[in-house]
């Protein structure tokens, strides 16, 4: 997991007003709590006093209260009240747990997994796909747990070569095993957003056709796979139908997928039925992928992986690994500068 990025970690509805939830994300035990004005906050799920789990406590106004001796934490992780000393006693700054900045967008909770910055205004943009914020879209979610590092799930979603094999009876029907390109674009915005866009172009193999190179892929080919670092992806099926996945990292060997089926429909009831069927379809297709991905070795994406012989069609995966490696190096460089 690479620090100093926004990770989608939960669905908004998992954290209700005045309530808290303890989860493992990015290899850490975290507690999320939502205060009355709707803001969500996040700290490590461990009291700095004597180690009780904060997620067993409660939300008091805008603070989180430990269930053991009532220490009260604010959103930055600072203890503001130690009841045994008197509620108005000053608390020293070192009474502080690690906290993460959170944002909500499109019904997802993101955390900036890094040090609390001095200037919140300088943080990169939250990497949500803007078109999914359109109120005309309704979405239907299924959650699926995979026993692999989130990077491998992402690689699978960028893999155009597997379609006719893993999904021979569903989205890969038609035995289109010959892989042109695929077309690929990379977009890096000034706001820190990094996106890989893929144009799949698989055809039936007639025994004569030679796969086109990336540069030969026609410009007007539909782009429908989009991945935004570090952990969201969408498949734009049409202007009114989109499949979206947030790959929420639990730890080095576990990932939670928030699979959403987005639909714009002018007939609400019919839309709800199609949406539910679509969400179930997402889960079915993800199950086909999971069956194979969990058998891969190693269960984590690494740049220049030993023992793997990649082919032209794997280029989106190579690009993913390359950018991921770059982000790791950037982080390490900055960390050394700070030291
Ligand atoms: S362990 Fe949390 S207040 Fe004592
Ligand atoms: Fe797949």
Which ligand is closest in space to the CA of residue 81? 1
Give percent of the chain with pLDDT exceeding 70.
Answer: 99
Q: Which atom of ligand 1 is nearest to the CA of 71?
A: 3
The answer on pLDDT for 163 being more than 80 is yes
Domain spans, the chain: 6-122, 130-329
Residue 297: per-residue pLDDT: 87
What are the tens digits of pLDDT across the range 32-56?
A: 999 999 999 999 999 999 999 999 9
Kindly state the average pLDDT of the residues 146-155: 96
Annotate 120-143 with b (16+ C-beta within 10 A) or e (fewer): eeebbebbbbeebeeeebbbbbbe
pTM equals 0.95
Strand order in the sheet with 63-65: 58-60, 63-65, 72-73, 79-81
Where does 130-329 sit in CATH, by number?
Answer: 3.90.380.10
pLDDT digits (tens, 9 = 90+) for 289-300: 999 999 998 878
The CATH architecture one would assign to domain 6-122 is 3-layer Sandwich (2.102)
Q: Quick one: pLDDT band at residue 3, thresholds 50, 70, 90?
A: very high
Q: Using a 6 Å cutoff on CB, does residue 52 contact ligand 1?
A: yes
Q: Determine the atom of ligand 1 nearest the C-alpha atom of 67.
A: 2
Report which bound ligand comes closest to the CA of 50.
Answer: 1
Q: What is the pLDDT of residues 69-80, one digit of tens each?
A: 999 999 999 999
Do residues 126 and 105 touch, judged by C-beta distance below 8 A? yes
- Domains 6-122 and 130-329 belong to one CATH topology: no
Q: Of all protein residues, whose CA lies closest to atom 4 belonging to ligand 1?
A: 69
pLDDT at 169 over 80: yes
Task: Say if residue 219's pLDDT is above 90.
Answer: no
User: Would the pLDDT of 136 be above 70?
Assistant: yes
* Residue among 68, 78, 81, 91 to mutate when testing ligand 1 (max atoms within 8 A of CB): 68
Quick one: average pLDDT of 273-287? Answer: 94
Q: How far is the CA of 229 from the centre of ligand 2 (A)?
A: 19
Residue 50 CB–ligand 1 contact under 6 Å:
yes
Q: Once rounded to an integer, what is the mean pLDDT over residues 321-328?
A: 94
**pLDDT tens string 305-315:** 778 999 999 99
Q: What is the mean pLDDT of the chain?
A: 94
**Per-residue pLDDT tens for 116-130?**
888 888 899 999 999
Q: Are 286 and 257 in contact (CB under 8 A)?
A: yes
What lies within 8 Å, CB to CB, of 150 at 6+ separation is 1, 231, 247, 248, 249, 255
């Amino acid at each position: 997991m690479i620090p100093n990025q926004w990770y989608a970690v939960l669905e908004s509805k998992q954290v209700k007003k005045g309530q808290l939830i303890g989860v493992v994300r990015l290899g850490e035990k975290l507690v999320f709590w939502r205060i009355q004005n709707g803001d969500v906050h996040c700290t490590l799920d461990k009291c700095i006093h004597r180690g009780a789990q904060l997620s067993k406590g409660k939300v008091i106004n805008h603070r989180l209260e430990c269930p053991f001796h009532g220490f009260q934490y604010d959103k930055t992780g600072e203890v503001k009240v130690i009841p045994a000393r008197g509620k108005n006693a000053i608390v020293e700054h070192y009474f502080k747990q690690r906290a993460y900045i959170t944002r909500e967008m499109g019904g997802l909770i993101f955390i900036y997994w890094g040090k609390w910055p001095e200037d919140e205004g300088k943080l990169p943009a939250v990497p949500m796909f803007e078109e999914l914020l359109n109120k005309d879209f309704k979405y239907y979610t299924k959650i699926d747990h995979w026993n692999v590092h989130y990077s491998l799930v992402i690689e699978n979603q960028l893999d155009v070569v597997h379609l006719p094999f893993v999904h021979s009876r569903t989205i890969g029907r038609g035995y289109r095993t010959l892989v042109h390109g695929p077309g690929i674009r990379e977009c890096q915005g000034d706001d820190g957003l990094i996106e890989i866009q893929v144009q799949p172009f698989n055809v039936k193999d007639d025994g004569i056709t030679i796969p086109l190179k990336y540069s030969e892929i026609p410009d007007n080919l539909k782009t429908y796979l989009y991945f935004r670092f570090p952990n969201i992806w969408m498949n734009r099926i049409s202007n009114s139908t989109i499949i979206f996945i947030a790959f929420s990292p639990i730890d080095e060997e576990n990932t939670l997928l928030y699979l959403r089926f987005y639909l714009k429909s002018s007939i609400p009831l019919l839309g709800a039925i199609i949406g539910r069927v679509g969400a179930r379809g997402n889960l079915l297709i993800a199950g086909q992928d999971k069956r194979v991905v969990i058998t891969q070795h190693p269960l984590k994406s690494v740049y220049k992986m030993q023992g793997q012989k990649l082919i032209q069609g794997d280029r989106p995966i190579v690009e993913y690994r390359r950018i991921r490696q770059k982000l790791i190096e950037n982080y390490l460089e900055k960390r050394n500068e700070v030291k």
